[in-house]
Structure 1
Amino acid sequence: MKKEPRHYIGDKDIQVIIGTLLRVGVYTSLAIVLLGGVIFMAGHAGKAVDYASFRPQPAGLASIGGILKGLFSLDGMAVIQFGILLLIFTPIARVVFSIFGFLIERDYLYVGIGLVILAIIALSMNGGFTH
């Protein structure tokens, strides 16, 4: 029997996959933000805007749970916030994928560097160090 040659994932393959991941993440985020804008505008058509007073973002949209809750009820602001969250998480997904790529290549120095970067991102998203 003739053995099939094994196909190994190389640097070029990983770069193409990461590039595609970033592109798809940005385009998906754009589509979701546009959809949220359409939903928001449809729900607020004809309302007068009062520029004299500032009203901050609703407290429900300040957490991921609140955004997901608003997303399922098709709240336009929540859909926009979800698109922005997706845009923020796209480069984080790139770091995670890069770590797995370096693991495949057995380049443990860069795996360690990627894990440090991921830890810094996680720490900063949770408020950083508190005194």
Structure 2
Amino acid sequence: MEPVIILGTESEGVSVVDVGGLHGSAPDRALVQVSANGLRATRWVVEYPDFRGLVKYFTDLERRWRGWSGTKTWISLEGDLAFTATHSGSHVDFSVSVESTLAWKVQVELSIGAGEDLSAARAEVARLFER
């Protein structure tokens, strides 16, 4: 599978490198890559029974593209992948972290447009994880 960029770019962003699951079912694991400032961290993230919660998270952000108060967060089952979003007028600012609970944590800050860019991110997440 070719990497699918969810946020940002391949060199400064969040991508999904691979997905896995039982034949015919929605993926329940994803190889997530976070890149920034020359650093690249990759981690298999498991979500049970699947990543529907992440799809709903991005769908909710897209529906509220005109803005919301405070932060909106999604955290994976084991806490090794987290998205936090705030709305700043015409942009959505994300803080995304990937971690190995015993060894390391990488966090990147990304900003995307609240309209088409956010819709494109939601579409990629849905394409990857909805079956």
TM-score norm. by structure 1 comes to 0.27
Larger proportion of strand: 2
Would you tell me which structure has more helix in proportion to its own residues? Answer: 1
